[in-house]
Each structure stands twice: as structure tokens, then as C-alpha cells.
Structure 1
Amino acid sequence: MARIPTAPVVAASLVGGYLVARETGVRPLGGAVLAAGGVLAGREWVRHAGPGATVALVGVYLGGFGASHPLAKKIGAWPAVLTAAGTSAAASWVLSDRKG
């Protein structure tokens, strides 16, 4: 089975989830995008980085999503989303993708 790089998956799902929720006005639909990306990335993390790194990466991914909400009040929605996406992608690359 081919290895899927997770850094672009997590970045795209955080940005895509926000964009879908914003454009459709349906927040659960944006959440579905976020969840789909998280499940895909999580499967790859378990396979290639192990359970400890997976727990850390899930924490960064979900923590970034959660932190983007209060951060948006301080710096704006797009900068907050891009910060969360960049942080999650960087962590994913460091802990999982660069090993491949």
C-alpha cells in the first residue's frame, strides 16, 4: 500500500473544513471534512510513526482546531486557520512524514 504524506492532508482538511463551513453555513459539514482528514492522517500516523506519535499528532491537530477559535478573535479567522494548519502540518512532517 502506498504511503500517503500526512502534512498536506492535515493542512488541507483544516483549511478545507473551515472553508466548507464558512461557504455553506453548515458547520457540521465543515466538521465532516475535518474528521475525514483526521481519520486518514491518523491511519497513516499509526502505521508509520507509532502510537505515541499518533497521540501527540492527534492532540496537535485537534488542539489547533480548538485554539483557532479564540485565536481568530485576536488575529482574524484566516490567519488563525492558517496558523493551525501550518502548525499541524509541520508537526506531522516532523513526527511522521520525514521518516518515509
Structure 2
Amino acid sequence: MSLLPATEVNTAPVVALGLVGGFLVARESGIRPLGGVLLAGCGALAGRTWLAKGGPVTAGALSALYLGGFGGSHPLAKKIGAWPSVAAVTALAAGAAYVASDRR
């Protein structure tokens, strides 16, 4: 199996898959690290593209937002609920990925 060239990957859907899919896998399987595997894999794939398209500053900023969204969704979930929290951080992170990387 081969990957597309890094510059041809649209990362907003990858970010959404990592955040929403990671949450769903962890929740439905009851194995939180399994959701983390999906989160990490999608983050690595997206990070590869961010680095290729925007350089280390863009890659670092979008990676921090992606991981910050994951971490921030936990306390936010206590205020607005799990699914709304995941949806909010996913929209923010995927939107930023689109603006900073995908629309180039």
C-alpha cells in the first residue's frame, strides 16, 4: 500500500476522522487507547501534509490545535456534553486545517 504524495492530501477530512472517529472508537469499544491509535494515525498523516505544504510553523500550529482540541474536548464535554464538544473542536480544527493547508 502506498500513500498519496503529501501535497495531494486534504487534511480537513483526516482531522475530522481522527477526532470524531477516535472518540467513537474509544466510546463504542470501551478501549480508550484504541481510539488514541486512530487519533495518532490521522494526526501523523495530516502532519505530514501540513509540513509539506506549509512548513514547520504551519505544521506545529495545526498539530497543537489538533491535539489541543482533543485535550480541550474533555473539560468542554462536562459543560455542553460529549457529542457537542467533539463536534465543536472538530469543526474548529478541521476548519483551521482547511484554511491554513487544504485550500492552497
User: Shorter-chain TM-score category?
Assistant: over 0.9
Is residue 12 of structure 1 aligned with residue 17 of structure 2? yes
Number of residue pairs matched? Answer: 99
Aligned residue among 85, 96, 99 for 1:94: 99
CA distance in 2, matches of 1:89, 1:17: 14
Percent identity over paired residues: 59
Mapped to 2, the partners of 1:36 and 1:91 lie a distance apart of 19
Q: Give structure 1 regions of 4+ aligned residues with deviation exceeding 2 angstroms.
A: none
- 1:45-64 paired onto structure 2 within 5 Å: 45-64=50-69
Unaligned 5+ runs, structure 1: none
Alignment partner, residue 35 of structure 1: 40
What corresponds to 2:75 in structure 1? Answer: 70
> Do residues 84 (structure 1) and 89 (structure 2) align?
yes
Q: Distance in 2 between matches of 1:16 and 1:84?
A: 13
- Describe the superposition over 1:40-81 as per-residue Cα deviations: whole angstroms up to 9, x where unpaired: 000000001111000100010000000000000000000000
The CA RMSD measured in Å over matched residues stands at: 0.8
